A and B are shown apart, each in its own frame.
Chain A
Amino acid sequence: MIVYLVRRVGQSLLAVMAMAILVFLGVYFIGNPVDVLINPEATQADIIATTERLGLDKPLYQQFGIFIWNALHGDLGTSFVYGRPALEIILDRLPATMELALVALFLSVGIGIPLGVWAGLRPNSIAGRTIMGGSILGFSLPNFWQGMLLILVFAVLLGWLPAGGRGETTEFLGLQVSFLTWDGLTHLILPAINLALFKMSLIIRLARANTREVCLQDYIKFARAKGLSGRRVVLVHVLKNIMIPVVTIIGLELGSMVAFAIVTETVFAWPGMGKLLIDSINLLDRPVIVAYLMLTVLIIVAINLLVDVIYSLLDPRIRLSEMKA
């Protein structure tokens, strides 16, 4: 297990390194930030001075070398716009996005798996068909439109919930969170549902397909032949088998939820990282974009690593082969 973990971490580091090169090159080619940053009436001397101050006059490989060296020391550059370390700006916004993504994940798993299993056990029932029909809407309707409809119905027409913003926050483990105050919670519900709907539909379909497949297996029939209650057959024998593919998808999707909550954050004016990224791209704030992408890569790689570990806990066959490896 240890050997496997070490190897797996090594692979993750390689992925991060490759991503660093891609990100840096990509951002380098999208344009000269000085053109955007500087006062249009500035003189040529000012432009040269600014370029030198930002280190943009150096050749590409030197810039990259400096970037990597600094990154290894935890410095992902200073924002051209805010004049503060890029990482610090992002970390300010990170808790809001993480909170939104985690609550959305909780909703999509907590609702998606039971509905999917139910639909899988009774594929021809009215409930099963309704769940499947609903899930098609869930991932075929555009996310921003779902968000706007949610606002229209629950904030405008019914007036039950606020339309945007984060509401009152309170400190929890040193982070600012919304879900512990009533006001914050009401602000959180709509964006979380909006972000969860797509993943929920995905999990429903995945859970249903796997449930149907597992139910045909001999070991389910054997479990019934042993005289187990229907409850135990479903909650232990079926559920543990369908969790393996579901956990993979959850892992992959959590990464994308954190990284790309942009649409939801924009619709609901949620002050998270996604909104920061959009602003930074508009201003060509290169260090912030790079820092954001690097952080995203780190998060996704870390989640994948975690998923592999959970995987081996769920499936003994994987555990064994890994130990040999």
Chain B
Amino acid sequence: MTKLLDVRDLQTHFLTRDGVAKAVDGVSFSLDKGQILGLVGESGSGKSVTGFSILGLVDPPGRVTGGQIVFDGDDLVAGGEPMLRHLRGKRIAMIFQDPMMTLNPVLRIDTQMVETVRAHEKVSRAEALRRSREALVQVGISSPDERLQSYPHQFSGGMRQRVAIAIALLHKPDLIIADEPTTALDVTIQAQILSEVQELCVKSGTALIWITHDLAVVSSLADRLAVMYAGRIIEEGPTAEVIANPRHPYTRGLIDSVPQGKRHGAMLTQIKGMTPSLLNLPQGCKFAPRCPRADDACLVEPSLAPAGADRSVRCVHPHDEPPGKVLAP
């Protein structure tokens, strides 16, 4: 079966005055049709930059400097802007983190939706409007005709994110890249959006890359997880297995950091230290300085190696035994 998306050894570097920040350095992963991948990591781990790299939307001074992004047989890095422009919004759509900022404040919703339809298909305004209306209904917006006439500031955050999702759905894309789309929302709205997106993806067979720092959110959504640290994927595998049996000490640390609510008053576990600066990365394994299992062997950077069925981990001393702790009962 051919992969829908195959990212191979992606390098996205930012050439700054202080040096080259390797925000994404050798990231590889792939995605089947209709599959949901959770891309997890702390701020600055390169997860968002990976998402933007796929669409060619990395802001200068950032640039994809190496690797391949093969989407449905075409290499997007080699194809460049002309190829990307026809894919953006049409076959690959994106949802952004902050719904308050993603819609243009001075343009009406109908303008912003109709232009998306007409950017890729030569249809009449009436037809474009009809499809926009349909998309709004699909994401659960009531009285869509009235909403189409409104401006973004007349909507709440959750509503705006629904509109953004409706825009992403307009062309029934093969892939949606969602960059922390629920982070800025209330928990109740977050849960609604989450289940709606999941349902829409299953219904339409759309693949999804869900970028987040929130393991709890993604564990209920994604088929597979890829954990990023300092611009690299350090562990990858089916969600349930990665959560239940994390092999990389960092993944384990992340899971342990989620409050469990089992014992009142118990100290929360934390990973000591801070994420390293991308301009000044440690030698060898990038996590070694914070890792309880690190020794001299970690001074040589390990590669992402297969670890068990359908899983891989980038660690010299991975955990192998089943962990004592499970995320949720």
Contact = CB atoms under 8 A, between A and B. Distances in A.
A240 B119 contact: no
B89 A237 contact: no
Interface string B74-118: 000000000001111110011011100111111110000001100
B107 A236 contact: yes
Given A227-B87, A316-B153, A222 B119 contact: no
A18 interface: no
Contacts of B89: 225-228
B contact face: mostly helix, strand, loop, or mixed = mixed
Contacts of B119: 226-229, 232
Nearest to B150: A316
Interface stretch (A60-68, A213-221, A248-256): A213-221
A42 B108 CA distance: 74
Given A222-B103, A227-B90, A320 B154 contact: yes
Contacts of B86: 227
Contacts, number: 79
B255 interface: no
B116 A226 contact: yes
A224 B55 CA distance: 9
Nearest to B89: A227
B107 A218 contact: no
Interface in A265-302: none
Interface residues of B, number: 31
A226 B116 CA distance: 6
Nearest to A218: B101
A315 B96 contact: no
Contact of B104 (A216, A229, A241, A314): A241
Contacts of B151: 316-317, 320
Interface residues of A, number: 24
Contacts of A226: 88-89, 93, 115-116, 119, 167
A222 B102 contact: yes
Contacts of B107: 236-237, 240
A153 B104 CA distance: 47
A224 B96 contact: no
Contacts of A228: 89, 115-116, 119
Contacts of B115: 226, 228, 232, 236
A152 interface: no
A223 B104 contact: yes
Given A224-B57, A227-B120, A228-B116, A219 B104 contact: yes
B101 A225 contact: no
A196 B102 CA distance: 37
Given A229-B85, A320-B153, A222 B96 contact: yes
Contacts of B70: none
Contact of B93 (A225, A236, A315, A316): A225
B15 to A, nearest CB: 13
Interface in A192-249: 216-219, 221-229, 232, 236-237, 240-241, 244
Contact of B103 (A216, A219, A317): A219
Given A218-B96, A218-B98, A232-B115, A225 B104 contact: no
Nearest to B167: A226
B159 to A, nearest CB: 16
Contacts of A223: 104
Given A317-B151, A320-B153, A225 B105 contact: no
**For B85, B88, B102, which residue has the most chain A Cβ atoms within 10 angstroms?**
B102
B36 to A, nearest CB: 19
Contacts of B96: 218, 221-222, 225
A60 to B, nearest CB: 51
Contacts of B116: 226-228
B99 to A, nearest CB: 9
B31 interface: no
Contacts of A316: 105-106, 108, 151, 153
B120 A222 contact: no
A218 B154 contact: no
B164 interface: yes
Contacts of A227: 85-90, 116, 119-120
A224 B97 CA distance: 15
Contacts of B104: 219, 223, 237, 240-241
B84 to A, nearest CB: 9
Contacts of A221: 57, 59, 96
B306 to A, nearest CB: 34
Contact of A222 (B90, B108, B164): B164
A315 B106 contact: yes
Interface string B15-33: 0000000000000000000
A241 B101 CA distance: 13
A248 to B, nearest CB: 15
Contacts of B94: 222, 225
Nearest to A319: B151
A229 B89 CA distance: 11
B105 A219 contact: yes
Nearest to A217: B101
7 contacts: A225-B57, A225-B89, A225-B93, A227-B87, A229-B119, A316-B153, A320-B154
Interface of B: 55, 57, 59, 85-90, 93-94, 96-98, 101-108, 115-116, 119-120, 151, 153-154, 164, 167
Given A221-B59, A225-B88, A240-B106, 12 more contacts: A218-B98, A225-B89, A226-B89, A226-B93, A226-B167, A227-B86, A227-B89, A228-B89, A228-B119, A232-B115, A316-B105, A320-B153
